[in-house]
Amino acid sequence: MSDQDYMQQAYNEALAAYEEDEIPVGAVVVCDGRVVASAHNQTERLGDVTAHAEMLAITAAADELGGKYLDECTLYVTLEPCIMCAGAIGWSQMKRVVYGASDEKRGYTRYAPSPLHPKTEVTTGVMKEECEELMKRFFKEKR
Amino acid sequence: MSDQDYMQQAYNEALAAYEEDEIPVGAVVVCDGRVVASAHNQTERLGDVTAHAEMLAITAAADELGGKYLDECTLYVTLEPCIMCAGAIGWSQMKRVVYGASDEKRGYTRYAPSPLHPKTEVTTGVMKEECEELMKRFFKEKR
């Protein structure tokens, strides 16, 4: 399984969010080649600003693995995390983060250059076009 | 009820965390003079790095009020929020944030100067000494 394969699974979660009229962001957490958590944005459904895909996936992964640190895991997420999610990724000591589209407005890199754990490796741009296009389609339909 | 009174309630939550061997941070959310949510750090108990007092209080307040935006609310928290929590406070559009002790290591002001909503008013240093002392006592006992 490649980064592309796992990102496809995160993208499928984003599509599920889209179908539920949520901002279409999806995430999966992978540990030793196994998807231990997958989630999509549920802020509207739960009426909770903290219910971003990454937050739900981090909580679920820790629950699945029985430990709060995810230092052997990779998070795949379709959109660059916001600073809330980047902060959570930092606390989790995530080994690696892979994201698809950049978020020019709310992405963490604009607000906080180094919120992640120093050891966390970051890869960007996997399935960038598809992830971007889904976000654009969602917001275009909202206008 | 004054800021001091509400911070005392947040401090009581921090004491509850302390008794549970959690890093002693407590928070309450106040809306129109009513405490709509109160919570303390539960990262160990829940095995979840996202279970900070502020996150739990924001989720509970939105649930209690039936809306995800808290733009008529004040968050009282014993310690300066980290960037994860500051990001959540930003998304919630919290009207006002009051915190006790500063967090020299993980406080949001060191990482992201402006993660909050531009309209959010911030007050610092309420019951600063008590909040600091509780944190110091906790970590001293851990050594």
Query: In the structure, what pLDDT confidence band is assigned to residue A92 with cuts at 50, 70 and 90?
Result: very high
Q: H or E stretch including B124? A: strand B121-124
Inform me whether the pLDDT recorded for A114 exceeds 80. Answer: no
Q: Which two tokens stand for residue B15?
A: 């004491």
Q: What was the pLDDT predicted at A88?
A: 97
The CA R_g of chain B, rounded to the nearest whole Å, is 14
Inform me whether the pLDDT recorded for A83 exceeds 90. Answer: yes
Inform me whether the pLDDT recorded for A113 exceeds 80. Answer: no
Interchain contact, A63 vs B47, CB within 8 Å: yes
- Name which of B86, B98, B100, B99 is nearest B132 in CA terms: B100
Q: What is the pLDDT of residues A8-58, one digit of tens each?
A: 999 999 999 999 999 999 999 999 999 999 999 999 999 999 999 999 999
Q: What is the pLDDT of residues B29-40, one digit of tens each?
A: 999 999 999 999
CA distance to partner chain A, nearest, from residue B108 (Å): 9
Greatest pairwise CA separation for chain A in angstroms: 43
Q: What was the pLDDT predicted at A33?
A: 95
Name the residue in chain B with its Cα closest to that of A105: B115
Q: What was the pLDDT predicted at B140?
A: 95
Q: What was the pLDDT predicted at B143?
A: 81
Distances (CA, A) of B128 to A39, B48, B103: 39, 27, 11
Inform me whether the pLDDT recorded for A112 exceeds 90. Answer: no
Interchain contact, B85 vs A90, CB within 8 Å: no
How many Cα atoms within 13 Å fall on the side-chain side of residue A73? 31
Q: What was the pLDDT predicted at A142?
A: 85
Which residues of A are known catalytic residues? 54
Q: Which two tokens stand for residue A33?
A: 């080649």
Query: In the structure, what pLDDT confidence band is assigned to residue A111 with cuts at 50, 70 and 90?
Result: confident
**A·B CB contacts under 8 A:** 93
B30, B45 Cβ separation under 8 angstroms = no
Say whether B141 is catalytic: no
- Name which of B46, B65, B54 is nearest B14 in CA terms: B54
Q: B139 by DSSP, 3-state: which?
A: helix
Q: B40 by DSSP, 3-state: which?
A: strand
First vs last Cα of chain B: how many Å apart? 38
Distance CA B10, CA B27 (A): 5
Q: What was the pLDDT predicted at A118?
A: 86
DSSP string, B44-86: HHHT-TT--HHHHHHHHHHHHHTSS--TTEEEEEEE---HHHH
**Angle (nearest 5°) at CA A114 between A113 and A118:** 150
Distance CA A67, CA A69 (A): 6
Closest Cβ opposite residue A43 in set B47, B50, B68: B68
Q: H or E stretch including B108? A: helix B108-111
Closest Cβ opposite residue B88 in set A44, A84, A114: A84
Q: What was the pLDDT predicted at B7?
A: 98
Q: Which stretches in chain B have pLDDT values below 70?
A: none
Interface list for chain A against chain B, based on CB atoms closer than 8 Å: 43-44, 47-50, 55, 58-59, 62-63, 66-69, 82-88, 90-92, 111-112, 114-115
Name the residue in chain A with its Cα closest to that of B90: A84
